[in-house]
Amino acid sequence: MRMAVIGAGIAGLSCAQELRRGGHEVIVFEKSRGIGGRIATRRTPEDLRFDHGAQFFTVQTKAFRQFLAGDVNKWQAVGNFDQTRDWFIGSPDIKSFLRPVAKTLDIRLNTQITSLERSEEFWTLQSDSESFEGFDRVIITAPAPQTAVLAAFSGQFQSAIASVEMDPCWTMMLAFSDPVERDFDVKKSASEHVDWMARNSSKWGRRERPDCWVVHATADWSRHNLELSRDAVLKALLPEVLLELGQTEDDLIYFSAHRWRYANVAKPVGQAFIMDETGTLFGAGDWCAGTCVEHAFTSGFELAHHIRDQKT
């Protein structure tokens, strides 16, 4: 069968890979210029790098371990947290482990799907400039609110997604020419408006200098300040962050902010994937199965196996 997967985050890639292995023809459509979705690294023209989305991931299932194929490292961070499970990262960028998977797939980057339509037998996907026809199954892996818009015609999608809650996150990326003299790599609940502070440079395979840090504002602060400009966010949060790090603005060699409108799942659907009335349109992603990278992987993986087992 011919499958369309919308989104080249980990849910889309795990689903596409398993469908391919099941002998299906798969095309992945991704609106951005790169793969990975919220498993993301910002690279600057000066070659500074910041994993500004997901910070690390846990690996609990055999399927996820096999998917990673040993292509990851442990992040042995020092900080104010109880580590019950190992933290894993790709190197040199958090999403590096996805590249070998992506190379085996037909991925159409810079292609935002704007609408879907089903005829008697097949699905047609529409972007701003092109139509893609003849798909037996379509899998949407965009964050829940964006999936709801694409599948607005499906009552089953609407009722499943109605209960999902996703939090935004304003992220800051800061670089200092010399290592910041603090005895932690990670600080959780760092200050009133800061939820997470991490020394990106402490991850395996990253350069020590410049010392690159990623800072996440709390969900509450991010929600209340969602429409601020990047400059306004930096102005509001930098003093608080610099105080924690014992630095001044003069010590900074780079600073920037990024808004994740749909960052973290606060309330998921609670099942691996969702399906429309025809059994040919599906939704997958962290927001179905849980809250994190491994849940997103599992969602895509289990959905692919469900489709492989479907009677046509």
Minimum distance from CB of 34 to ligand FAD (Å)?
A: 8
Handedness of CA 143, 145, 149, 152 (dihedral sign): positive
Encoded one letter per residue, x for contact with ligand FAD by CB under 6 A and - for no contact, window 169-188 reads x-x-----------------
Q: Is 98 in the site for ligand FAD (CB under 6 A)?
A: no
Q: Which stretch binds ligand FAD (CB under 6 A): 154-162, 177-185, 237-245, 290-298?
A: 290-298
In this complex, which beta carbon is closest to ligand FAD, that of residue 110 or of residue 177?
110
Q: Is 7 in the site for ligand FAD (CB under 6 A)?
A: yes
CA 299, CA 7: separation in Å to the nearest integer? 13
Residue 276 CB partners (closer than 8 Å, separation 6+) = 151, 154, 156, 157, 282
Encoded one letter per residue, x for contact with ligand FAD by CB under 6 A and - for no contact, window 222-261 reads --------------------------------------x-
Site for ligand FAD in 186-215 (CB under 6 A): none
Q: Which stretch binds ligand FAD (CB under 6 A): 59-67, 218-226, 275-283, 292-300?
A: 292-300
* Residues binding ligand FAD: number (CB under 6 A): 36
Q: Which stretch binds ligand FAD (CB under 6 A): 97-105, 136-144, 176-184, 248-256?
A: 136-144
Site for ligand FAD in 15-34 (CB under 6 A): 29-32
Minimum distance from CB of 145 to ligand FAD (Å)?
A: 10
Q: Where are the beta strands (DSSP E) in the chain?
A: 2-6, 25-29, 42-43, 49-50, 73-74, 88-89, 106-108, 115-118, 123-126, 131-135, 137-140, 165-176, 186-191, 194-199, 211-217, 252-267, 274-275, 281-283
Q: Is 166 in the site for ligand FAD (CB under 6 A)?
A: no
The only residue of 285, 298, 302, 303 in contact with ligand FAD, by rule CB under 6 A: 285
In this complex, which beta carbon is closest to ligand FAD, that of residue 99 or of residue 251?
99
User: What is the Cα Rg of the chain in Å?
Assistant: 20
Minimum distance from CB of 254 to ligand FAD (Å)?
A: 18
CA 152, CA 147: separation in Å to the nearest integer? 8
C-alpha separations of 60 from 8, 105, 293, 294 in Å: 22, 25, 11, 8
C-beta separation of 285 from 142 below 8 A: yes
The only residue of 3, 5, 37, 157 in contact with ligand FAD, by rule CB under 6 A: 37
Q: Can you list the pairs that 243-250 forms with residues at least 24 positions away whose Cβ atoms lie under 8 Å?
A: 243/191, 244/187, 244/190, 244/191, 244/194, 244/197, 245/180, 245/182, 245/197, 245/213, 246/180, 246/181, 246/182, 247/176, 247/180
Minimum distance from CB of 28 to ligand FAD (Å)?
A: 9
Q: Which residues bind ligand FAD (CB under 6 A)?
A: 6-12, 29-32, 37-39, 53-57, 112-113, 141-143, 146, 169, 171, 216, 260, 263-264, 285-286, 292-293, 296
